[in-house]
Chain A
């Protein structure tokens, strides 16, 4: 049998591809992914969608671009990563090398952005509107929503909570919050925090869970018993109480919150990977890898992990949803970020001193719901796609 069969059309596709096709054939998953894609676009282009600074303005001394001049390193990194991933997607490269290139791009742009960009530290948001009113700008092109998330409309006097489209002279499609900032603008910028926390926190949890769970499953025995006790300890404390305790003693910042949500939600992944690895460790290919004298990390991550990866994605997808919920819950309880926009914090303003501001509930709450629902739909579709039992039952 020396002939090599060329893969014909309809030949068995790789497992990952099979799962991917199966997931994309479901309406729920398509809708969920579509919403997540919309959020990603909103998050990446947030400064161009909602900003008090004009995109382009003509002064007596020529054209100025206040918006582009004030872009921060984070803005630029997001933009570059977005276009880099779009460009990498059609290339025929291995996933590993694509991820490597992306990581390089992220580090490079972040460092270069920190070094080269000089956004103004203190922004007086109304200066651009005043400049146009006084005639300093002959004309100016504004983003679709001409209000920054932290633009409290100081030049319009004592502004506060206003229902959508109530104010004359300004158009706030989703109303304004208690400080007078535009809700839609804050929501667009908050999508960055929601997506970022969801992905990074889940990534951290996944990393810790895979390492601890993998070691537990691979070594079994004493390591397994000790590890399971650790998992039980972390599972026995309700997640929110643990988060509250962390927040109480460590203060609040976006990155800290990502880490905290990450290190409090790993036990589920560890449990899962442990079960998978316990099944795998006696199989021939693993035994062969060990017999070849491969180092431990190679056996664990190159040989065993890919076999347990697809089901792990299901858990991760639900995990992103719950990480987003955790962040919004903390912000809702007033324990989140202080000044930065967050959906939960806006939702918190919906019922204040016994008046009910429906626009503060409906729009940010709706955004949280849609995002969580989207991730759950994707998770559901993934689970159906990787679960062999359900597939058999459906056939």
Chain B
């Protein structure tokens, strides 16, 4: 099977297993609670929205970690907590070996130079009263880098890097399209040559044909500049494409982390399996053969998470196993089940042999797929027999 190094695609680091390097960022037992206040005269603290409830993750330099989950799972809050845009309620954020959880002032500003963010809404993340050039040079101004002429040159370079005509630096955001605005956002994030970029749903608000452009842009930049990405999104197909490793979150917790290839072929958490089976595939033949796992009910409120395992109220595996007590009383912890594959489920072993997982993922991919021109085998849903894919890998661009 492929080694860890080649699984970390786009990495600028030499072929050293990322697991052995010091992680660029590590969060330990992170909790972010938002207090709920109620009361007539005085606001009493009546409860908390537990957006992030004990999350431990790390990202290696040069890696792209995908953080995926549905609304309310806490992925965006996690991203923001790393940059300290939201203050952690508990836990630690360790950046390049240093604990940055509580630092302030100039210390924090120094760290901010190295961690940047790309936002979801290209229409709201740019100040409508500033020109594109001003927006991109703002980080340089804030940290007093270079003279005015230097900054102008840098803005020029950055605009070309992200694929925009540098002459447009004097235009205002409303004159650009959504995709172009997002590129401006990327240029802004790159201005300080950060080590880590947290991308919070960077393409969800864009048209499908533009999404692919931005994805490719980000991948290219990562390759050229050796960036590390934390890619937060709800669309697992996109996350899988762009990430080396994926962490799946549910209701404030990480339920599974794995290499993206493994997550798709051998998911071990019942939620991941359900998630995979719910994603529609643009192939009617495949779709007609699929049997979806339909989760019952809605996501519980993060203010009042279920006892024990948070997923137990909707878990198909639990139902299959006859509703074991353990799921309601004991909170599963993330445990290592395979190479770089952690799962938080008491009965993850059952998942492996379940028909649900087979239905959702089909057979795993044989090693022949690493040769660029060999016909890849489809990891199709619902097929017991793997069949050649309609679209073979594209030849490298001329």
A and B interact:
no
